[in-house]
Amino acid sequence: MHENIRDLLPAECFSRGTLWIGGQWCCAADAGSFAVTSPIDDRHLMVASRAQATDADRAVRAAKSVAASWAGDSGKRSALMLRIAEEIRKHAQELGTIETVDSGRPISETTTDSVQHAAGLFDYYAGLTDKLHGSTVPMGNDTTALIEREPFGVIGAISAWNYPLLNAATKIAPILACGNTIVLKPAEQSPLVTLLLAALMRKAGLPDGVVNILTGFGPEAGAPLITHPMVSKVSFTGSMKTGRRVAAAAGAALKGVILELGGKSPLIVFDDADLPRAASAAVFSTFKNAGQTCTSCARVLVARPLIEQFVTLCSAIAADLRVGDPLDPEAQIGPLISAEQLARVRRLTAGVDARHVCEERYRPVPGGHFFPPMIVTKYAFDSDFARQEIFGPVMAVRPFDTDEEAWQLANETEYGLAASVWTSSLHRAERARRLIECGIVWINCAHTLSAGTPIGGHKASGLGIEHGVEAAEQYMKVKTSVLMSSGWHSPFGMRSAST
């Protein structure tokens, strides 16, 4: 366990506070704080400042004060974002270590793929800063409409705990590219990597006030951010339950909202699938980050004749996975984020007929929030286990008999985030693309994404888009100006007013 968290974070976070407002580290106005602990062994990491409404107001005003100047020069924004990407890559080891200690994600991922993806987002959106332009519409009679895109101003953002660095970059990069400023509240369960990211952005030359960070809890810091009159739009990633509250609060204030919520995504294996590859994808999708991935396809639907063979393959593949201290480079699965999440997964899986996998390589750290990965083949299809997002290393396997039943079961959920379909039939692949109600359908692959790949939830999985040009467009408002080069003639005529 890494004990020198002080060596990884800015020293001012310990001496002044963990709120980053107007380019300064500071504590909460009421000096409130909370303890940040590691899910690896529940060890105390540091005391973080606990922001309140007063602090949210300070952060929003700091963001508002520089909004006009930040929006002015797309070329400078682009160059600065490229420097941020470079700083992220240069500090991959520090960022990854903090994220692992704070969130429990394996260090083999946090120092490699996670950092590269986060840096790639800043690279991608840096290339869009001068391309998010408007258009013209000829209207006839010497009249032209100018369609312009303008930044909203201050964006309030709340990110989730499962991929803290990537979640922060997913919010910050498109918001900055579009000329907005931001106040970000990272999840209270894993806020620390965002603090180092703030320091790296300042090192890259980001002007004070463009990005502000509030550590704290949703009701105390997030809620005032959503309803603040100077916040023009809200972006939230988290649970469906909290997302409904965010949407209601933003709706009452008549401001736009982007919601990336949960999922109960299917992975469908047809009788003509490449079974070993499908099984490998199912194991990866289900157990990645200990199942704490919104797009996890842990609801596995398998053609009935293949189900025993498929489960045997998955069990054999999962048997080689190593569960344990995520700071061990050999570990592939770490702990759940908190004692509360561990209790929830235990409750949802109580009573199911589970086949535990990787038992010989299951080495939980004492005091940590570890849960043994499992494959479940017998469960009540109308139970909470079947219907709710589990967010743990649990694969639920269910047979189907016909294509039509597969489509029906895939859509038999209030969620609609992702799906993975395995078949050698082009006809089935095309039907999957058309019939499954979700934001992204992977055909013979899973979790294949890039910075330019838009993804968004359907149904209860959210509103709006993350990644891609489509995400950036949401952070700009449209203004239409109509220009007439000749004189305007009123349909009511041109009578002179009588005196």
**Nearest residue to 327 via CA among 3, 37, 14:** 3
pLDDT on residue 494: 62
* CA dihedral of 297, 170, 86, 116, whole degrees rounded to 10: 0
Q: What is the pTM of this model?
A: 0.96
Give catalytic residues, as residue numbers: 171, 260, 294, 466
Over residues 447-486, the pLDDT tens digits come to: 999 999 999 999 999 999 999 999 999 999 999 999 998 7
Torsion of CA 174, 288, 384, 342, to 10 degrees: -100
Residues of the chain with CATH 3.40.605.10: 10-261+457-480
- What was the pLDDT predicted at 362? 96
Q: Report the alpha-carbon distance of residue 396 to residue 146 in Å, rounded.
A: 53
Q: Where in the chain is the domain with CATH 3.40.309.10?
A: 266-443
Contact indicator for 419, 265 with CB cutoff of 8 Å: yes
pLDDT value of residue 499: 45
Alpha helices in 143-222 (DSSP H): 164-177, 192-203
> Residue 308: what pLDDT?
96
Q: What are 141's two structure tokens?
A: 């009679």
Spans of the chain below 70 pLDDT: 1-3, 494-499
Helix axes 113-126, 92-103, angle to 10 degrees: 120
Residues near 192 by Cβ (< 8 Å), separated by ≥ 6?
5, 9, 36, 45, 46, 48, 98, 99, 101, 102, 164
CA distance 53 to 196: 24
* 319, amino acid identity: A
In CATH, the number for domain 10-261+457-480 is 3.40.605.10
The fold of 266-443 is Aldehyde Dehydrogenase; Chain A, domain 2 (3.40.309)
Strand partners, 478: 149
Model pLDDT, residue 490: 78
Return d(Cα 466, Cα 170) in angstroms, integer.
7
